[in-house]
Copies of this chain bind each other. A is one copy, B any other.
Amino acid sequence: MSKPLILVSNDDGISSRGIRILVELMTEMGEVIVVAPDSPQSGMGHAITVGNTLRLDKTDIFGSVPAYKCSGTPADCVKLAKHHLLKNRKPDLVVSGINHGSNTSISVLYSGTMSAAIEGAIEGLPAVGFSLCDYSSEADFSHVDEFVKKIAAEVLNRGLPRGVALNVNIPPRRNEKVKGMKVCRQARAKWEEQFEERRDPTGRKYFWMAGNFVNFDKGEDNDEWAIANNYVSIVPCQYDLTAHHAISFLNNEWDV
């Protein structure tokens, strides 16, 4: 049996620590190709490059593993891999990450890591985004291997429902061992932004976005609860944004 073909991307950029770990783990499981941004793309959400050019250059950063760095967004990387580099070869799995920082709850919308995975799902490919809930550049990744490999193996063996990509968040390394994995829903939470106003050297105003994460969700079936309680969270995500429950409200309450 031939080895599965695994496409690896991320949003922290091709030279980040997280993608190196993911490439190493996936190389144990299949034939790997890497297409990732040439610079950090955090917060890019599902952006694509429209009305501008894209660069795509081969790199030997991962030794014998074929790898390409791209001037575009994570979603661009997956599109270029699928429609330009691989053409008639279809990846058996798309993995993105491992992101330096949490992508739980509402952060999934802003996440470049998850946009690569969701772009995979749009292309009909089983896809997973992995994030470690530790923003430090010195983050300890030593506990992630077993979960990343187990989840990748399950997706390769059992597949995913059509149109679904997994948002996997791994708790930060703590003294206590991770308790296990939980299938979750996206927690109801948001960022309360604060904008810090500063002056540049010419005296002109500029802002830094800062903010506090506010969790409104009292449930125990969501990703925030899982991470807080030292479980790996697995949220199946879809790209059909239709609020199906609101269709009848609009048809009944509105004069359309």
Contacts and interface: CB of A to CB of B under 8 A. Distances in A.
Given A79-B209, A242-B237, A243-B237, A51 B42 contact: yes
Given A234-B256, A247-B183, A109 B46 contact: yes
A47 B110 contact: yes
A55 B240 CA distance: 33
B195 A243 contact: no
A82 B251 CA distance: 30
A185 interface: yes
A77 to B, nearest CB: 12
A146 interface: no
Interface of A: 40, 42-51, 53-56, 75-76, 79-80, 82-84, 106, 108-110, 115, 118, 122-123, 154, 158, 160-161, 163-164, 167, 180-186, 188, 190, 192-195, 198, 204-209, 234-247, 249-251, 253-256
